[in-house]
Amino acid sequence: MSKIFDRTGMYWLFGAIVLILVTAACSSGGDDTASQTATGSAAQPQSPAAAVAPSGSTGSASSPIQAVAPAPATGVSAPSATEPAVNRVVMALQLETEANDPRYQTTIPSGIGMRPMHENLIGHDATTGAMVPGLATEWTLEAGPSYRFKLREDVQFHKGWGEMTAEDVLFSFQNSTHPESTSSGAVSLLELVKEVEIVNDHEVVIHLTETDPTFLVNDARAWEVISKAHSDALGGKAPNLSDEAIAGTAPYQFKERSQGSFIRYERVPYTHWRMTPDFPEFEFRILREESTRLAALLAGEVHLAEIAPDLHGVAESEGMRVIPTQKAGLRIFAVFQCCYFRDGAYTHQESPLLNDNVRKALNKAINRDELNTAFFRDKGDTMYNAHVYPTDAHFNPQWETRFPEEYGYDPAAARAILTSEGYGPGNQLETILTYSQRFAGSEDVGDAIMGFWREIGVDVEGLTIDARQQRTLRRNGDFENNTYVINTSSNIFTAMGAYHSPSSAKIGFETERTTAIYNEVLVTMDQGRLNTLFREWGDIVYDRHLDIPLFLMRAELVVDPNVVADYVYPGDISGSWTHVENIKSAR
């Protein structure tokens, strides 16, 4: 049996690291001391409109109309009269890349850095993840097809860059789809949006090239609205990491960053239209090593940390608390990167991963129960299909019934399948596992999977590359024989386009039929027909073993309860760590 990586041997390091951090600490994250190369203020407008408190809507929407989400349950919240436990609350996590402009968001983890300071036309409910009014108070689908958005009035951009208007919405679209853009959504926006028409200062009509039921779910909710005036003051040039981030409208505004070290935000100095955070400042601390994040939490240097579940017990024994997401929306799975369908044929015809039986053998070689116990404290529920939740209307119960035969751990059967396909001594199956830093403990999970594969005679090599290299190789279709462990929370529309169709993302195994189904989905508005298409698509993914489904989980953060009382965040939104303004202070 494969021996999964055991972390107990590294626990002795924690004491030394904690001692170093405690000795170096002057406070519990509430001071204003900046690390080296910190960047801060940029040129400011002469008449700071941010000093004027907005007087518009507090979150209520008009009566529901077609395609309008319900209003948030709560409006503006004032800070408590009681002082928070610390001035600056600090969350430690790993970010694959950094950016100061939505134009350069290459992955969701880099986009996490935008979320505290930027808002979208459509928001997310912190408890359910459902669509709610954001910078748009309402929206309607019209003939064309087009979506008409009514914009919220009296919303201020940070640091005096004026009131948000339709001009900023248009500019934000142009910025995200700029020729230099590396944004993951740029290509789909360019393909789908024909024109952004300004009706008046607080109304826009977004004309689409075709009917697309995914527009509201994917594009409108990922469209950060930023200040045109601020960009104009910078000469239209996107800021790099030594500049100040482009002004947004969220409850926190950019304060400073030190590349590779931290990003800091400060609470806006006026009554925000939506809510007021408990903490005057918030910081993302970028710590790539698992042990370092845990040690920093125990030393009081950070107050929330992304830590792999197998280390939660260590933190809890020291008085820390685990706060899960509201929903079990985090999917952990692996995708095969090899197989790009072009002009009726596959690229990389020599890839062994083109063989359905090889992919089945690789699935059956993995002991999911052992992975779950070793790395996730048995908190993971089996994902029978990597892209379909068991609660979805299009979930096929036969997937669960057939799972032991199709995907269940059976190394003898896996070896027999490989033998039947011509692999064995003298002709080993060779493949590559690309390491991911997409979630806490992902490298360890990757090591364990490689161990399982070696047990059945696979010659597997680990490859470490950064997020930008990963994206470039993927979009160029250069991966020939790779598997990539990933985690994400996304809807079925995103999954269909990103993983098994020749979309701009080019993440997974493409097929002609899954692509055809996705193309039909894009022009189908009838929910019954959509569910039928979703089921057919899911059957193909399952029957052909197009992925390696692992676990469905709640994302979790470990927090210091002396500083953080609660944190409500949905957990079914890509990147998981959203709604940081909801972090509540212990009193």
Q: Are residues 372 and 504 in the same domain?
A: yes
246 and 360 co-located in one domain: no
244 and 209 fall within a common domain: yes
Burial class (CB in 10 A: 0-12, 13-18, 19+), 349: exposed
CA distance 364 to 346: 25
Q: Confirm whether 538 is domain-assigned.
A: yes
Q: Assess contact for 335 and 499: CB atoms under 8 A.
A: yes
Task: Answer yes or no: do 80 and 167 share one domain.
Answer: yes
Same domain assignment for residues 99 and 220:
yes
Q: What is the CATH number of the domain that holds 258?
A: 3.40.190.10
Report the distance separating Cα 553 and Cα 53, nearest Å. 41
CA atoms within 13 Å, Cβ hemisphere of 430: 5
Query: Which range among 473-477, 527-531, 581-585 shows the weakest confidence by mean pLDDT?
Result: 473-477
Q: Give domain status of residue 245, yes or no.
A: yes
Of 185-199, 249-263, 334-348, which one has max mean pLDDT?
A: 249-263
Q: Which residue has 């360019």 as its token pair?
A: 190
Residue 321 is assigned to a structural domain of this protein = yes
Do 536 and 568 fall within a single domain? no
Do 185 and 280 sit in the same domain of this protein?
yes
pLDDT for the residue 438? 62
Per-residue burial over 433-467, b if 16 or more Cβ lie within 10 Å, else e, is bbbbbbbbbbbbbbebbbbbbeebbbebeeeeeeb
pTM, rounded to two decimals: 0.71
How many CB atoms sit inside 10 A of residue 10's CB?
12
| Nearest in space to 230 (alpha carbons), one of 189, 176, 171 | 171
165 and 181 in one domain?
yes
Confidence of residue 72 (pLDDT cuts 50, 70, 90): very low
Residue 396 has pLDDT above 60, yes or no: yes
Is pLDDT at 19 greater than 70 in this prediction?
no
Q: Name 363's Cβ contacts closer than 8 Å, sequence gap at least 6.
A: 406, 407, 545, 548
Measured between alpha carbons, how far is 560 from 303 in angstroms, rounded to an integer? 5
Residue 358: its H or E element: helix 356-364
The CA-CA-CA angle for residues 584, 154, 133, to 5°, reads 60
Is 15 among the domain residues?
no
Residues recorded for the chain: 587
Q: Which helix (H) or strand (E) holds 208?
A: strand 203-208
What is the rounded distance in angstroms from the CA atom of residue 271 to the CA atom of residue 79? 10
Establish if 504 belongs to a structural domain: yes
- Three-state secondary-structure class, residue 292: helix
Contact between 87 and 281 under an 8 Å Cβ cutoff? The reply is yes
| CA atoms of 511 and 500, how far apart (whole Å) | 6
Q: Quick count: other Cβ atoms within 10 Å of Cβ 177?
A: 18
pLDDT digits (tens, 9 = 90+) for 57-68: 323 332 223 344
Six-digit token string for 223: 């469209």
Residue 243, classed as helix, strand or coil, is coil
CB within 8 A of 217, min separation 6: which ones?
A: 131, 491, 493, 494
Q: Does residue 13 belong to any structural domain of this protein?
A: no
Q: Confirm whether 310 is domain-assigned.
A: yes
Predicted local distance difference test score (pLDDT) of residue 436? 67
Percent of the chain with pLDDT over 90: 48
pLDDT at 411 over 80: yes
Angle ∠(271,274,276) on CA atoms, nearest 5: 50
Q: Which domain holds residue 222?
A: 56-325+556-585
Q: What is the mean pLDDT of residues 16-41?
A: 40
Does residue 9 lie within any of the structural domains? no
Do the beta carbons of residue 224 and residue 114 sit within 8 Å? Answer: yes
CATH of residue 336's domain is: 3.10.105.10
Q: Name the more confident of 243 and 53.
A: 243
Question: How many domains are there within the chain?
Answer: 2
Q: What are the percentages of helix, strand and coil residues in the chain, rounded to 5?
A: 30, 20, 50
191 and 78 inside one domain: yes
H-helix or E-strand spanning residue 406? helix 397-406
Indicate if the pLDDT at residue 21 is higher than 50.
Answer: no
Q: Which residues pair with 346 in a beta bridge?
A: 341
Cα–Cα distance between 541 and 509 in angstroms, integer?
9
pLDDT band at 47 (very low <50, low <70, confident <90, very high): very low
DSSP helix/strand/coil, 193: strand
Q: CB count, 10 Å around CB of 193?
A: 19
Q: Are residues 467 and 334 in the same domain?
A: yes
Distance CA 94, CA 108 (A): 12
Residues 376 and 255 in one domain: no
User: Could you tell me which residue, 363 or 66, shows the higher pLDDT?
Assistant: 363
Q: Are residues 311 and 457 in the same domain?
A: no
Mean pLDDT over the full length of the chain: 81
Element (H, E) at 140: strand 136-142
pLDDT for the residue 570 = 83
**pLDDT-based confidence at 237, cuts 50/70/90?**
confident
How far from chain centre, in Å, is Cα 553? 14
**What is the average pLDDT across 177-184?**
68
Q: Using an 8 Å Cβ cutoff, are 35 and 262 in contact? A: yes
Amino acid at 168: D
Task: Determine contact, residues 207/193, Cβ cutoff 8 Å.
Answer: yes
For the segment 412-460, what is each residue's pLDDT rounded down to a tens digit? 999 999 999 999 999 999 999 987 656 667 888 999 999 999 999 999 9
